[in-house]
Amino acid sequence: MFRLMWMQLQRRLFARALGSLMLAALLAEASSAAQPARPEVLLRFSHVVAPDTPKGRMTSHFKALVEQRSGGRIRVEVYPDSQLYGDDDEMEALRLGAVEMLAPSLSKFGNYGLPEFEVFDLPFLFDDLAQVRRVTQGPVGQQLLERLSRQQMLGLGFLDNGFKQMSARKPLRTLADFKGQRLRVQASRVLVAQMRALGAQPVVLPFGETQQALASGVVDGAENPLSNFLTQGLAPLQPDVTLTRHGYLGYAVVTNPRFWASLSAPDKELLAGALAEALALGNRLSAQMNEQALAQLQRRPGVRIHRLTPLQRAALRSAVQPVHDGFARSVGADLLKDVQQAISPEAPKTQSAD
Ligand code: LMR
């Protein structure tokens, strides 16, 4: 049974890889005037969101820096919007060498044998991005990146998107509002537990299938940072956006260690330097893009933005508290303690959030 599933997956990946090669050949032909005919290194960067998001902007900046600094010797092909691989197969594709870089959300690593990454999903854990960065840009973040090697990934850095808001066809302000709502979540056990604690029915779906599921009514609502909400075209389907700010969404940029080992030392340095700059840009843009998305949604006819009173927020927060206790063991009590220490007001500052 397992062997059959494995063969099917291999076949699926092979077919997609073939498709990607054909797409890559077409793209290469289209841009051949600007590039040397044969790049020495090809780096395919696949992701699931739109180009005009913090992740999309980060990857296109990375591409521009790398190609310019290598004089086109290293070519970066960016495949946004689950064009090449989606949530279901991108990590296998990376392991098999069908792509060289990904930036999955931190919520998606738990399903791949790294439950400690689900610590970022704990609802109401972070108050702001400055707290997140004290974790991701400090020793705890470094430790987490190192743990990726357990699953044959090399972690290169963290990127913020921001805080998630709830959306549906009605406001979601109280537990009574959540009751029975089918709400899409990423494949994270913490997020499933969060929705259950609120009284909703969690539905795990790949990002690339969410819009369709909302359009057809398979699910009633979702949680997203507003830049994703806007660029996925969810506004016409989800007229009520409740600014719950209940959870964080961020990413880890990962590569295949075999690919990385195949690079020369100067190329590794070039790529690492370009990525650090691109991540800094993405992190500068993240809060700004979510604010711009809010401003756009506020102007949009048919979209209603709802805010929580302090009491409503406190009630939601206390309803999901058992999720923290329930997952302390699987994310690791020591890690949770380190994270809490890093975000506490007395913790030494690392990199400031804009
Ligand atoms: C989601 O699935 O909701 C997000 O992980 C999408 C993304 O990459 O921002």
- pLDDT (tens digit per residue) in 89-127: 999 999 999 999 999 999 999 999 999 999 999 999 999
268 neighbors 37 (Cβ within 8 angstroms): no
Q: How far, in Å, CA of 123 to CA of 154, rounded?
A: 27
Q: pLDDT band for 30, please (50, 70, 90 cuts).
A: very low
Question: What mean pLDDT comes out for the span 122-150?
Answer: 97
105 lines ligand 1 (CB under 6 A): yes
Q: Tell me, using a 6 A CB cutoff, whether residue 49 lines ligand 1.
A: yes
Query: Amino acid identity of 296?
Result: Q
Ligand 1 atom nearest residue 53's Cα:
9
The three-class DSSP label of residue 144 is: helix
> What pLDDT score does 171 carry?
98
The rounded percent of the chain whose pLDDT value lies above 90 is 85
User: Per-residue pLDDT for 173 more than 70?
Assistant: yes
Q: How far is the CA of 86 from the centre of ligand 1 (A)?
A: 10
State residue 73's pLDDT score. 98
Let me know: does 199 contact 177? Beta carbons within 8 Å: no
Q: What is the mean pLDDT of residues 158-185?
A: 98
Interaxial angle between packed helices 139-147 and 129-136, expressed in degrees from 0 to 180 and rounded to the nearest 10: 60
Q: How confident is the model at residue 12 (pLDDT cuts 50, 70, 90)?
A: low
* 328 Cα to the center of ligand 1, angstroms: 24
For ligand 1, is residue 228 a contact (CB within 6 Å)?
yes
Selection from 316, 265, 255, 333 nearest residue 62 by Cα: 255
131 lines ligand 1 (CB under 6 A): no
Does the C-beta of 186 come closer than 6 Å to ligand 1? Answer: yes
State mean pLDDT over 335-347.
Answer: 90
